[in-house]
Amino acid sequence: MIKVTDIGGTEKYLNCDLIEKIELVPDTLVVLVNGHHLILRDSPHELIDRIVEFRRRIGGTLCHFPVVEEKKAGYAGGEAPAASAGTE
């Protein structure tokens, strides 16, 4: 969880796993995966720094995306060829 400050100046703790997106419009708008949103005093850069620091502190990953290999046998770069069903 990361500490955030809402537009009214109240400090809160936010589960950063629930963040879907962060926008600057002109205040910082945080949209959560459940559709709720928060308007914060913290800048998007401050939030991202806190999320990265939180993930480092707990030893977790920085994102939830699967790791993709950069090179595969017979693949020289550019776009990877589509895999055919049942060929591997």
Per-residue pLDDT of the chain in tens (88 residues, 90 and over written 9):
999 999 999 999 999 999 999 999 999 999 999 999 999 999 999 999 999 999 999 886 655 544 444 444 444 444 444 444 454 4
Q: Kindly list the domain boundaries of the chain, sorted by start residue.
A: 2-58
pTM of the model: 0.65
Give CA angle at 15 (50, 62), nearest 5°. Answer: 50
Cβ atoms < 10 Å from Cβ of 52: 13
**Residue type at 53?**
E
In the prediction, which pLDDT does 59 show?
83
Are the C-beta atoms of residues 7 and 41 closer than 8 Å to each other? Answer: yes
- The encoded tokens of residue 49 equal 């720094």
